Structures are given as C-alpha cells and as structure tokens.
Amino acid sequence: MTGRLAGKVCVLTGAARGIGAAVTRAFCREGAAVHALDRLGDELPAGEPGVTPWTVDLTEAAEVEAVFAAIHARSGRVDVLVNNAGIIFFRAIEDTAIEDWDRLIAVNLRGAFLCTRAVAAGMKARRSGAIINLSSNAGVRGGDNESAYCASKFGIEGFSRALAIEFRPYNVSVNTITPGHPVRTAMSETTYGAAQRAIWIDPAEIAPAFVHLAMQDASGINDRHVRAWDLVRELHAKETAP
C-alpha cells in the first residue's frame, strides 16, 4: 500500500461485514481515517487503528444526523462517502409484505439519501470529495422475484446520475459500483447458487477499485457505473505493464 488516502476522512456504511469490512480495511491501509457505520455495532472493528465504529440505523433520520454531527465534530469533514449498506430478499410481488418492501427501500435507498445529504454541504463548500454508491446488476436489469431489490438499485442509479450533475460544479465525483464478479459475503451466502459459489472471490480482491474511486474528483472517473472486478484488472494491467 502507498498511502494514497493519507489524510482523507472516509465514511463507510454497512461496514461490519463483507464488502464494507474489506473496503474499511483497504482504506485504513492506505492511510485514511475511517468512520465505520453499521446497525451491527458489535461486529464493527473496535480498537483497530484508523477506524472509528458507529452503531446506527441508517433508516432513522435522527440517528444519521446525530452520527454525522459527531463525525464532523471529531474529524472536521468527510472527504469520501461509501454508501454500501444493503439488504435483499426474493419474493413474488403478491407475496411481498408492505413492511418488507418499505424496510428494503429504506435501507438500500433512503439510507444513501440521508448519508449523502449529511455530507453534501461540506463537500460543496470545500469543492472536494468523492461519493461511491453500491449498485448491482439488479440496478441495470430486472431479476425474477427481485422487484423490491431492483427498485432500490435502479433508484441508486438514478439518484447517482442526478447527484453527479449536481456535484460536478463543485469538483465532487459521484459513481456507482457493482462487484462485477461473484463475491463471498453474508448476503451472497444466502443468494448465490452453486455456479456462482464455485467462482466467488474474497471481497478484499475488489477493494482496490473502491480505493481508486475514492481518489477521484469530478475531472477523473465520474458519473460512471463501475464494475469493480474489471477496474481492478485494468489497474493491475497498468501497474504491471513494461
């Protein structure tokens, strides 16, 4: 690691497990001060150098506002926001309970809105920052019994495209990212079939793509739907080219 995020203040949601935990570790290794947010507070890295854990329900506006106020008081700013938290279920529309639909949309989309709203004014004032929103193949095409999940991820894509336009004059990059390869996480443990499990990789293998996006401003990679695995391979090819 090269300290590429040295001095950066980063916030990651859904940081207790899977992709969020892997990206938290990668950001720390690159020198960032990381605020790790998750509802599963007892699973967040406590005492790890560079990481400050916060237990928060991202669907509750008052909790999100309080946590970001505390983050700003402690660190002074947020340079990078990764909206990673998400949940999924597979269910026919007629079998989808209203409360389950509302909960999924709240975690996957409302949470991203609340966190982005909390950092927007500061990033605009400093004319600097990077926002990375977790998307999915379900954000660009439909899936069987995935109406709620697809609605949330198509929403993340639209949300991000609009934010990219809004933030561009302030030199803030906004991108969506999807793994681009089967990744072993708590979510995929319950959703992947045998074929995907046969080739899945550790989420640490796609973490370098998040580091690269965290380094961007509006003049770099911006307003893109990025496949993390493809970006990692592209970066590796450049690093190893003669």
DSSP character string of 6-38: TT-EEEEES-SSHHHHHHHHHHHHTT-EEEEEE
Per-residue pLDDT for 18 more than 70? yes
DSSP symbol at 53: E
Return the pLDDT at 1: 62
What does the pLDDT average to over 173-191?
Answer: 87
CA distance 62 to 7: 28
Q: Read off the pLDDT of each residue in 163-189 and give the average, rounded to a whole number.
A: 92
Q: Which of 74-78, 154-158, 177-181, 220-224 has the lowest mean pLDDT?
A: 177-181
Q: Please state, rounded to an integer, the average pLDDT across all residues of the chain.
A: 95
Supply the residues annotated as catalytic: 149
Range(s) of the domain holding residue 202: 9-18+30-223
Residue 231, in any domain of the structure: no
Residue 1 in domain? no
The reported pTM is: 0.95
Q: Is the pLDDT of residue 223 over 90?
A: yes
Evaluate whether residue 235 is within a structural domain.
no
Q: Is residue 150 one of the residues assigned to a domain?
A: yes
Whether residue 46 is predicted with pLDDT greater than 90 in this model: the reply is: no
> Which region among 148-162, 189-203, 206-220 has the lowest average model confidence (pLDDT)?
189-203
- In the chain, the number of structural domains is 1
Residue 123 forms part of a structural domain: yes
Reply yes or no on whether the pLDDT at 184 is more than 90. Answer: no
Q: 39: pLDDT confidence band, cut at 50, 70 and 90?
A: very high
Domain contains 238: no
- pLDDT reported for residue 88: 94
CB atoms closer than 10 angstroms to residue 66 = 13
Query: Can you tell me the mean pLDDT for 143-170?
Result: 97
CA distance to 11, 51, 89, 224, per residue, from 3 (Å): 17, 15, 38, 25
Does 174 reside within a domain?
A: yes
Give the per-residue pLDDT at 196: 83
Q: Which of 118-132, 154-168, 195-209 has the lowest mean pLDDT?
A: 195-209
Query: pLDDT value at position 209?
Result: 98
CATH code at position 112: 3.40.50.720
